Amino acid sequence: MADLINEINRRRTFAIISHPDAGKTTLTEKLLLYGGAIALAGSVKGKKTDRHAVSDWMEIEKQRGISVTSSVMQFEYGGCCINILDTPGHQDFSEDTYRTLMAVDSAVMVIDAAKGVENQTRKLFKVCVMRHIPIFTFINKLDRDSKNPFDLLSEIEDELGISTYPMNFPIGDGVDFKGVYDRTAKRILCYERGDGQHEVRAVEADISDSSLNALIGEKNRLQLLEDVELLDGAGDALDRDEVAAGRLSPVFFGSALNSFGVEPFLKSFLEMGPSPLPRECVGGTVEPTDPRFSAFVFKIQANMNKAHRDRLTFMRICSGKFERDMEVVHVQGDGKKMRLSQPQQMMADSREVIEEAYAGDIIGVFDPGIFSIGDTVCAPGMNIAFEGIPTFAPEHFARIRHKDTMKRKQFVKGATQIAQEGAIQIFREPDTGMEEVIVGVVGMLQFDVFAHRMLNEYNVEIINEPLPYQYIRWIDSDTDPKALNLSSDTKIVEDFKGNSLLLFTSEWNIRWALEKNEGLELAEFNRE
């Protein structure tokens, strides 16, 4: 039991979120480098090396330079076992990010010092707030001309509605960037442009001592003196309870590309960041140290590796210890007992079969098509169900069919599998077959990913005819959809469980339908 508690307490499971280009991939890679999980930094995607960051593995990601799916990386550092969950930076994939955030205990938000809070950070942040998880901020690219650090902090506070506590403070920026002042240790980390592979020099500093002028220049020293006075004068100590509640974000300044400030950030994060947290289930809470194994599905991904042609289901372990070949119950699968076949731990595109894993860890298991997002798997007799993960209502719709009629079978298989992953939602018009489907997505780019995957993974070229609908509603009453009085631009569709839905072009049409059809009830989410 002591071993179990120790293993769980030393785990840190977090996601990194950012607006595209803020430096998420670079930071992730530097963290992996410190953990010895990769040998050489600089494998970041880029023209120079033509290699791709380990977390950026899917083909479409390589082509577009965006992260589409979330991958999981595990490594050891300073006695901790760290699980980093990568998230797609693009807003069109915010639903995927949302699910990933359901599986973590804290988040690291990367902000570009020149740009401040960007659109995407705002959106992802709201998702973090919904989960009340601690958020640590890394303000990146101080080696470039940056916004005033106080302005950056106010921006985070005003735009995201969270308090900030700068753990360190930058000295200059851009060509004049000299380093950061560590407020706790009262020392200066000197910035030296190097090869980005090694840690930097740290100097104990009494900032009122003019001998520091030789190191950072008089102007910078006087500015720092003023800044630190201002910060300390503000008086708020670092309140860890506020951090834990997701109301106060510790902020670190640095430069991921130059490995500057990354290691101190990691150390501080590991010290303050939460170990696996208890998780809500229907009618109660599951403690991570409960020795009985439990986990929930937060992600399903087919064909992760073209050579393998498989479907992997990712589970976050919420309690206890997982052992290979142990018997578990799939709660939503009628409580059927099963063994999880070949549990995998992921490291970007390489995988390893694991013998054991603990609460906080993520495992991938081969899935013959039985799991859905949000499902619970647990030890026999435990009898719990974790609270489900809500689905975002799609906002864009298109009629999709296959170009080559000979490819019907692959079309159906591909569309169904990709829909099961939750990346897209598929519907059909009543009384039609699977020759064509109506696809709904949260972000337009998901159509591109869908077309790309259909072609690459199922060898099916598709035709996409955009539809003007923007709203979807489930019919929540016993009404026969065919008997409804609807405006001519409202469409009746069915999901694959046979539920009837309506697609609307405007909110006005939704009101119209409700007014003209007494007793009609419409739901924004499928309540199943």
* In the complex, minimum distance from the CB of residue 21 to ligand G4P, in angstroms, rounded to a whole number: 4
Q: Considering beta carbons, is residue 139 or 377 the nearer one to ligand G4P?
A: 139
Distance between CA atoms of residues 127 and 133, nearest Å: 10
Q: Considering beta carbons, is residue 87 or 313 the nearer one to ligand G4P?
A: 87
**Counting contacts by CB under 6 A, is residue 320 touching ligand G4P?**
no
Angle between helix 218-234 and helix 149-160 axes, rounded to 10 deg:
30
* In the complex, minimum distance from the CB of residue 28 to ligand G4P, in angstroms, rounded to a whole number: 8
* In the complex, minimum distance from the CB of residue 196 to ligand G4P, in angstroms, rounded to a whole number: 9
How far does the chain reach from its first CA to its final CA, in angstroms?
38
* In the complex, minimum distance from the CB of residue 71 to ligand G4P, in angstroms, rounded to a whole number: 13
Contact 250, 136 (CB under 8 A): yes
* In the complex, minimum distance from the CB of residue 190 to ligand G4P, in angstroms, rounded to a whole number: 16
Piece of the chain touching ligand G4P by CB under 6 A; list 17-25, 364-372, 407-415, 452-460: 17-25
**Counting contacts by CB under 6 A, is residue 259 touching ligand G4P?**
no
* In the complex, minimum distance from the CB of residue 185 to ligand G4P, in angstroms, rounded to a whole number: 22
> Hey, which residues does 347 pair with through a beta bridge?
73, 350
> Hey, which residues does 328 pair with through a beta bridge?
338
**Counting contacts by CB under 6 A, is residue 20 touching ligand G4P?**
yes
Q: Considering beta carbons, is residue 18 or 345 the nearer one to ligand G4P?
A: 18
Contact 105, 12 (CB under 8 A): yes
* In the complex, minimum distance from the CB of residue 66 to ligand G4P, in angstroms, rounded to a whole number: 7
Q: For residue 65, what is the DSSP state?
A: T
Which residues ranging from 57 to 96 are in contact with ligand G4P (CB under 6 A)?
Answer: 89
Contact 327, 380 (CB under 8 A): yes
- What is the b/e burial string over 293-313, where b = at least 16 CB atoms within 10 angstroms of the residue's CB? bbbbbbbbbbbbeeeeebbbb
Q: Which amino acid is at 113?
A: A
**Counting contacts by CB under 6 A, is residue 249 touching ligand G4P?**
no
Among 61, 95, 143, 436, binds ligand G4P (CB under 6 A): 143
Among 74, 100, 140, 319, binds ligand G4P (CB under 6 A): 140
Going from the C-alpha of 135 to that of each of 105, 166, 236, 261, 286, the distances in angstroms are: 10, 13, 18, 17, 23
* In the complex, minimum distance from the CB of residue 120 to ligand G4P, in angstroms, rounded to a whole number: 10
Going from the C-alpha of 492 to that of each of 396, 438, 495, 507, 519, the distances in angstroms are: 16, 11, 10, 16, 17
Residue nearest to ligand G4P (CB): 46
Number of residues that make up the chain: 528
Q: Considering beta carbons, is residue 89 or 116 the nearer one to ligand G4P?
A: 89
User: How is residue 96 written in tokens?
Assistant: 């995927």
Q: Say whether 512 sits in a helix, a strand or coil.
A: helix
Q: Considering beta carbons, is residue 144 or 413 the nearer one to ligand G4P?
A: 144
Distance between CA atoms of residues 193 and 173, nearest Å: 13
Distance between CA atoms of residues 226 and 232, nearest Å: 10
Which residue is listed with tokens 């016993």?
478
Strand locations in 303-395, DSSP E?
A: 311-319, 321-323, 327-330, 336-339, 344-347, 350-353, 356-358, 362-366, 376-378
**Counting contacts by CB under 6 A, is residue 257 touching ligand G4P?**
yes
**Counting contacts by CB under 6 A, is residue 21 touching ligand G4P?**
yes
Site string for ligand G4P, 444-483 (x = CB under 6 A): ----------------------------------------
**Counting contacts by CB under 6 A, is residue 263 touching ligand G4P?**
no
Q: Considering beta carbons, is residue 20 or 388 the nearer one to ligand G4P?
A: 20
Q: Considering beta carbons, is residue 66 or 513 the nearer one to ligand G4P?
A: 66
Q: Considering beta carbons, is residue 115 or 452 the nearer one to ligand G4P?
A: 115
**Counting contacts by CB under 6 A, is residue 26 touching ligand G4P?**
yes
Among 13, 15, 17, 23, binds ligand G4P (CB under 6 A): 23
Q: Which amino acid is at 430?
A: P
Piece of the chain touching ligand G4P by CB under 6 A; list 40-48, 357-365, 369-377, 423-431: 40-48
Query: How many residues of this chain interact with ligand G4P, rule: CB under 6 A?
Result: 21
**Counting contacts by CB under 6 A, is residue 25 touching ligand G4P?**
yes
Going from the C-alpha of 158 to that of each of 30, 96, 152, 290, 467, the distances in angstroms are: 30, 26, 10, 40, 38
**Counting contacts by CB under 6 A, is residue 41 touching ligand G4P?**
no
Q: Say whether 106 sits in a helix, a strand or coil.
A: strand
**Counting contacts by CB under 6 A, is residue 180 touching ligand G4P?**
no
Piece of the chain touching ligand G4P by CB under 6 A; list 44-52, 218-226, 420-428, 437-445: 44-52
**Counting contacts by CB under 6 A, is residue 46 touching ligand G4P?**
yes
**Counting contacts by CB under 6 A, is residue 44 touching ligand G4P?**
yes
Q: Say whether 150 sits in a helix, a strand or coil.
A: helix
List residues near ligand G4P by CB under 6 A.
18, 20-26, 44, 46-48, 89, 140-141, 143-144, 255-258
